[in-house]
Structure 1
Amino acid sequence: MAAATLEEIKRSLRWFADRTAAEISPLYSHLAGHAADDDEIAGLLTATDSTAADATLLLAAVQRVLQSEPFHELTNYYPSLGGTYGPDAGTWSLFRTFVLERAERVRELIATRVTQTNEVRRAALLYPAVALAAKQAGKPIGLLDVGTSGGLLLGMDTYAYRYQTQQAGQLAAGPARSTVGLHCALALAPDATLPTIPKRLSTAAKIGLDSRPVDLTDEEQYAWLEACIWPDQPERLRLFGAAAAAQRKSPPDLVTGDAVADLASVAARIPAEVPLVVLTANVLWLFTDERRREFLAALDALAQTRPLWWVSQEGYRAAMELVLPNRTDLLPGERKPTFGTLGLVRWTDAGRQAIALARTAWHGERMEWLAS
């Protein structure tokens, strides 16, 4: 895969600053907006290929370097590192100087790492869809998380959930005494009704597949995932720590492999009589269009061998457009620039049955349930 051009990188940084981070991360919106106008800083992303050359990778690499210098003045702007300052007139110049003085270290991280935000709050988005698949299956399910990173989403059956609704107050699900409690605002689109969210999800097996699975007992790998969390969102960092601590008590089976070539062999580790739910969460944006079609073809082939569902929380163009074309209502717009789509695909004798269940915020904090 070829490297992105500088102009492509700068457009991506501008999009991230103005559309993705603007409403949810003042610091990253500020930094990415300035980086979009700076050839030297933006140019660091040419160290990776075009699919990975994203603002989040640059910013994660910088935060990882900053983690090793906790007394640097720049940490004042990073709540994740104890800072209390908001972005101001001096933030960019301080950031730029810090990065350029450590450009080789930043470039090396960009060249050798990928953004692996193991966002545990996405479990709150996925849970209603997985529960619906389990209801359709009528028995305990197997979970196969593709692009699993550290595997935290595989713990979704052990987390406690609180869905805040206007229509029914707070809906609770999951084990009440879980050490990981996730909150999600649940709104309704016009003509939609609240989903049925069961108290319990029964799983028979779990496995994760990733080209670079993360061992959360390894200090360096753990630190990289921390660096991938946006620094002015400390709640995400707290939940990551809680979920990682819970996982250490019962580590999941994580397999190194390719999302397409190894999908069938990894799925075969779960008995064929167990209904299988494949998960993807903010993973397929890293794939080319051809690669996404290959992934769908691999799912089609897998469905010939066993009961299969696919639950995705991705941007519409990265996933559901493959099976639900021409849904312009699911594309980001000027007023809702950062939503993804929660989708469910079921394979039956009649072929694929696909439905878009909700519009979602990227990090699990809210979703809007759609009319069926």
Structure 2
Amino acid sequence: MTGSGLLGEAAAHNDDGAWARKAIERIQNDQRRSADTHLLRLDLPALAGIDVYLKDESTHPTGSLKHRLARSLFLYGICNGRIRHDTPIVEASSGSTAISEAYFARMLGLPFHAVMSAATSPEKIREIERQHGRCHLVADGKGIYAAAEALATELGGVYLDQFTHAERATDWRGNNNIAESIFEQMSREEHPVPAWIVMSAGTGGTTATIGRYIRYKRLATRLCVADAEFSAFFEAYAAGNRTATCDRASRIEGIGRPRVEPSFLPQVIDRMMRVPDEAALAAMRVLSRRLGRRVGGSTGTNFFALCVIAARMQAAGERGSLVTLICDSGERYGHTYYSDDWIAGQGFDLPRQEDRLDAFLDGRGPLEA
């Protein structure tokens, strides 16, 4: 029994409370210093009456959509008392989340360890290390979960587990989440309520946030989730099978998973589309040329699915706006998606797919789904 008599008392360590307040202040100050990301309108005259917008998440301080998630995960961990002044931080990641988490760990003076597939792009590994993080590469990508959990136990640290906590760490009702930002930026456009928002799934956290927000605000917008060719998510949605697995690792870094992650909520999705990797990477290159800068493979997946929806709307004589995301910069994939040798090694015929998509966007031909 603690104390005397029937009354037991204990006090939290004062240093941890003071550290938590300071840590939250630093994270919030970082958010205030970062302006909201741009919403770009893509000029596509051939799609008369259908306006296409790109939410450019590559402009975050750590270069990707995952900056939002990392910030939320750190705030969630600190406010729940899991992250303290000397806590080693461990994450299982395909790269972008780890880059963003390494940034916040460095800001707070915490050691950071990323457990990743050995196939992760060298550019991402270098960026994690630049943020003073340590990378632990696992030959089998399916093993990152157990390896991260074991490493956290060994270090006496916290496994952030983005795949479980992504959907609960973000305030989906608002608080400047990505959905609220999109609708605020769209509010004065010709079609302010998008017909569709198109988003691919990695953890499933962003699609959960967008889908919940749409319902909470009673909006007519529908959510289409674009899945990578090798991923368990599509089967989970199409067949209602949360035990679905995929034996092959996704070739599109950041999206597609070998299992159905806890943060993936199929019930808030209106349509799901499995995009062949060849089509996704062709769309990535087409969009990069039209923007004048490189985007990543997940953005290509998003953009191809958006184009399919645009083609269907055009065929039906529908008008409206479509929104998708630029998830990260293509500069992280110089050794893979922008390497002709890597593309050839995968057996992809990108020029044929690019010509087909360019023809549609220029009004020279249909786009068959």
Question: TM-score range, shorter-chain basis?
Answer: 0.3 to 0.5
Higher CA-based Rg = 2
Query: Normalised by the size of structure 1, how large is the TM-score?
Result: 0.35
Task: Looking at secondary structure, tell me which structure has more strand per residue.
Answer: 1
Query: Normalised by the size of structure 2, how large is the TM-score?
Result: 0.36
